[in-house]
Each structure stands twice: as C-alpha cells, then as structure tokens.
Amino acid sequence: MNEEEFIYYVTVALKNLGYNKAGIFNVEGEIKRLIKLYSTEEIKAKVAKMK
C-alpha cells in the first residue's frame, strides 16, 4: 500500500468516527510528517511496540 492509499483509508476511518475536516487535516499532516521522518521498518517497529 502506498502513502496515498494509506491516507485515503485513514481519512475514511476518521470520517466514520465523526472527525471534522480540521481534525482529519491534522491527522493526515501528522502521518505525512512521520512517514518522511521514519523509514517503513522504523514505523513498523514503533507500531509493534504499541501492541
């Protein structure tokens, strides 16, 4: 899954949870920032630690 597809799925999920446009924009921005900051492996490791 590429970045655009991931952002799309997150956007749909946030809309289903009742987020407004500003909240969705903020979450999308944070995701894009993290994707640029960390490699895919680093993100996977951080998510695995959260489980």
For 1-23, what is each residue's pLDDT tens digit? Answer: 888 999 999 999 999 999 999 99
Percent of the chain with pLDDT over 70: 100
**The pLDDT value given to residue 36:** 94
Q: Which amino acid is at 27?
A: V
3-state helix, strand, coil in the chain (%, to 5): 80, 0, 20
Q: What is the mean pLDDT of the chain?
A: 94
What pTM was estimated for this model as a whole? 0.77
**The pLDDT value given to residue 26:** 97
Q: What's the domain count of the chain?
A: 1
**The pLDDT value given to residue 34:** 92
Tell the residue number behind the tokens 């490699």, with chain if given. 39
Cα–Cα distances in angstroms (integers) from residue 14 to residues 2, 5, 8, 10, 46, in the given order: 19, 14, 10, 6, 21
Which domain covers residue 8, as residue numbers?
A: 3-49
Look at residue 39 and tell me whether its pLDDT is greater than 90.
yes
Q: Are 6 and 31 in contact (CB under 8 A)?
A: yes
